[in-house]
Chain A
Amino acid sequence: MKFIKYYIPFLFVMGSLAIILHFFWLPYYIDNELQSSLAHEQEKTRLISDTVLSAMLSGDLAELHTMLDSVVENNVAWNSVILMKVDGTQLYPLFKSVLPPSDTVSIIKYPLIYNEQKLGNIQVQTDIDSLVAPKLQKLQHLELLVLASSFLIMLIGVFLQNKFIHNPLKKLSIASSKIAEGDFMMPLPKTSDTVLTKFVENFNHMRNDLKHRENQIMRQQMIQDSVHNMQSKFLTVQDTGAVYCDMLDTLLELSESHFGLIGEVKYDEKNQPYLKILVMTNIAWDIPSRNMFESVIKGELNFTNIDNLLGQALITGRNVIDNKPEVDLLSLGLSKGHPELKSFAGIPMYNGKQQLTGMVALANAKNGYTDNSISELNIIWNAIGNLIDAFHRKELLSDREAHLRAIVDNAVDGIIVIDSNGTVLTFNPAAEEIFGYNESEVINQCITILMPPMYALHYKEDIATHINNGRLELIGSSKEIKGMRRNGEEFFMEVSVAEVKTGTIRHFTGIVRDISKRKEQESQLLAAQAILSKNNDQLLGLSLRDGLTGIANRRCFDETLDSEIKRATRLGSSLSLIMFDIDHFKLYNDYYGHVEGDNCLTSLANSIADIFKRDGDLLARYGGEEFAVILPMTNNEVATKFAEVVHEKIEMLALPHAKSPTAPHVTVSLGVASLKPNKNTTASELIKLADEALYCAKSEGRNQVYSSNMKLINA
Chain B
Amino acid sequence: MKKSDLLAIFTMAFINISLIPSEVFAETTYTLGVVPQFDARRTQKIWTPILKRLEDETGLSFKLAGSPNIPEFEKDFTAGKYDIAYMNPYHLIVANESQGYTPIVRDIGRKLYGIIVVKKDSPITKIEQLDGKLIALPAPNALGAALIPRTEFSTKFNIKPDYTYVKSHTSVYLNVLLGQVAAGGGVQKTFSQQKPDVSNNLRVLYETTKVSPHPIAVHPRINPEISKKIQDAFLKMAKSEADAKLLQKIPMKKLGIANLSDYDELREMGLEDFYVK
Q: Of residues 428 to 467 in A, which have CB atoms within 8 Å of B's CB atoms?
A: none
| A59 with B171: CB separation less than 8 A | yes
A58, A63, A91, A94: the one contacting B197 at CB < 8 Å is A94
**Minimum distance in angstroms from A144 CB to a CB of chain B:** 49
User: Which of these, A61, A62, A63, contacts B180 with CB under 8 Å?
Assistant: A61
Asked if A65 CB lies within 8 Å of chain B CBs, one says: yes
Within the complex, what minimum Cβ distance (angstroms) separates A89 from chain B? 6
Q: Is B174 an interface residue (CB 8 A)?
A: yes
List, in ascending order, chain B residues with CB within 8 A of A91's CB.
Answer: 178, 180
Contacts of A94 in B (CB 8 A): 174, 177-178, 197-198
Q: Which size bracket describes the interface of B in this complex?
A: 10 to 19
- Scoring B residues 127 to 145 as 1 if CB is less than 8 Å from chain A, else 0, what string do you get? 0000000001000000000
A53-67: CB near B (< 8 Å → 1, else 0) gives 000001111111100
B167 touches A63 (CB 8 A): yes
**Does the CB pair B171–A89 fall under 8 Å?**
no
Q: Would A95 and B197 count as touching, CB distance under 8 A?
A: yes
Say whether, besides A94-B197, A94-B198, A60 and B166 are in contact (CB < 8 Å): yes
Once A94-B198, A95-B197 are accepted as A-B contacts, the answer to whether A59 and B136 lie under 8 Å apart by CB is yes
Given contacts A94-B197, A94-B198, A95-B197, contact A62 B177 (CB under 8 A): no
Q: Is the CB of A58 within 8 A of B198?
A: no
Chain B residues within an 8 Å CB radius of A89:
178-180
Cross-chain contact A59 with B175 (CB below 8 angstroms): yes
Residues in chain B near residue A90, CB distance under 8 A:
178
A94-B197, A94-B198 are contacts. A61–B179 as well, Cβ < 8 Å? no
> Quick one: which of A32-87 are within 8 Å of B by CB?
58-65
Q: Measured between C-beta atoms, what is the minimum distance from A51 to chain B in Å?
A: 14
**Which residues in B have their C-beta under 8 angstroms from that of A61?**
166, 170-171, 174-175, 178, 180
Q: Which residues of B contact A63 (CB under 8 A)?
A: 167-168, 171
Contact assessment for A59 and B166 in the assembled complex, using a CB-CB cutoff below 8 Å: yes
A60 and B197 contacting across the interface, CB-CB below 8 Å: no
User: In the assembled complex, how far is the CB of residue B197 from the closest CB belonging to chain A, in whole angstroms?
Assistant: 6
Would you call B188 an interface residue if the criterion is a C-beta within 8 Å of the partner chain's C-beta atoms?
A: no
| A60 to B177 CA separation, bound complex (whole angstroms) | 13
What string of 1s and 0s marks CB contacts (under 8 Å) between B157-180 and chain A? Answer: 000000011111111111101111
A548 to chain B, nearest CB (A): 194
Interface centre among B171, B173, B179, B180 (most CB of A within 10 A): B171
Instruction: Tell me the minimal C-beta distance from A112 to chain B in angstroms.
Output: 15
Interface string of B187-198 (1 = CB under 8 A from A): 000000000011
A60 & B168 in contact (Cβ 8 Å cutoff): yes
CA–CA, A59 and B169, complex, Å: 12
Given A94-B197, A94-B198, A95-B197, A62–B179 Cβ distance below 8 Å?
Answer: no
Interface size of A by CB at 8 A reads 13
How many whole Å from B146's CB to the nearest CB in chain A?
14
Across the interface, A62 reaches (CB within 8 A) one of B164, B165, B174, namely: B174
Chain A, Cβ-Cβ closest to B195: A94
**Known contacts A94-B197, A95-B197; is-contact A62 B178 (Cβ 8 Å):** no
Given contacts A94-B197, A94-B198, A95-B197, contact A65 B174 (CB under 8 A): yes
Q: Which of A60, A64, A91, A94 has the most CB of B within 10 A?
A: A60
Beyond A89-B178, A89-B179, A94-B177, whether A62 also contacts B197 by CB under 8 A is: no
B166: chain A residues within 8 A (beta carbon): 58-62
Contact with A along B39-56 (1 / 0, CB 8 A): 000000000000000000
The smallest beta-carbon distance between B182 and chain A, in angstroms, is: 13
Distance from B171 Cβ to chain A, minimum over Cβ atoms (Å): 4
- Among A61, A89, A94, the most chain B Cβ lie within 10 Å of the Cβ of A61
Bound Cα distance A62, B166 (Å): 8
B197 touches A59 (CB 8 A): no
Contacting residues, chain A, for B168 (C-beta < 8 A): 60, 62-63
Residues in A neighbouring B169, C-beta threshold 8 A: 62
In the complex, what distance in Å separates the CA atom of A90 from the CA atom of B179?
10
A67 CB to nearest B CB, Å: 12
Q: How long is the Cα–Cα vector from A414 to B174 in the complex, in angstroms?
A: 162
How many angstroms between the C-alpha atoms of A62 and B169 in the bound complex? Answer: 8
Q: Which residue of A has the minimal Cβ distance to B166?
A: A59
B167 neighbours in A (Cβ, 8 Å): 58-60, 62-63
Residue of B nearest to A83 (CB): B178
Q: How many angstroms between the C-alpha atoms of A91 and B175 in the bound complex?
A: 9
Q: Which residues of B contact A95 (CB under 8 A)?
A: 197
Complex Cα–Cα for A653 and B172 (A): 192
Contacts of A65 in B (CB 8 A): 170, 174
Chain A, Cβ-Cβ closest to B178: A91
The reply to whether B164 and A59 contact each other, CB–CB distance below 8 Å, is yes
Question: In the complex, which residue of chain B has the Cβ closest to the Cβ of A56?
Answer: B180
Contact at B178–A60, with CB atoms within 8 Å? no
Of A58, A62, A65, A95, the most chain B CB neighbours within 10 A belong to: A62
- State in angstroms the CA–CA spacing of A60 and B138 once bound together: 9
A84 to chain B, nearest CB (A): 11
List A residues 83-141 near B (Cβ within 8 Å).
Answer: 89-91, 94-95
CB-based nearest B residue for A66: B170
- Which of B's residues lie within 8 Å of A, judged by CB? 136, 164-175, 177-180, 197-198
A-B contact pairs, 25 of them (CB 8 A): A59-B136, A59-B164, A59-B171, A59-B180, A60-B167, A60-B168, A61-B166, A61-B171, A61-B174, A61-B178, A61-B180, A62-B167, A62-B168, A62-B169, A62-B170, A62-B171, A62-B172, A65-B170, A89-B178, A89-B180, A91-B180, A94-B174, A94-B178, A94-B198, A95-B197
Chain A residues at the B interface, C-beta cutoff of 8 Å: 58-65, 89-91, 94-95
Q: Give 7 A-B pairs besides A60-B167, A61-B178 with Cβ atoms closer than 8 angstroms.
A: A59-B164, A59-B167, A60-B171, A62-B166, A62-B167, A62-B170, A63-B171
- Which 6 pairs, one residue from A and one from B, show the smallest C-beta to C-beta distance? A62-B170, A62-B171, A61-B174, A60-B167, A59-B166, A62-B168
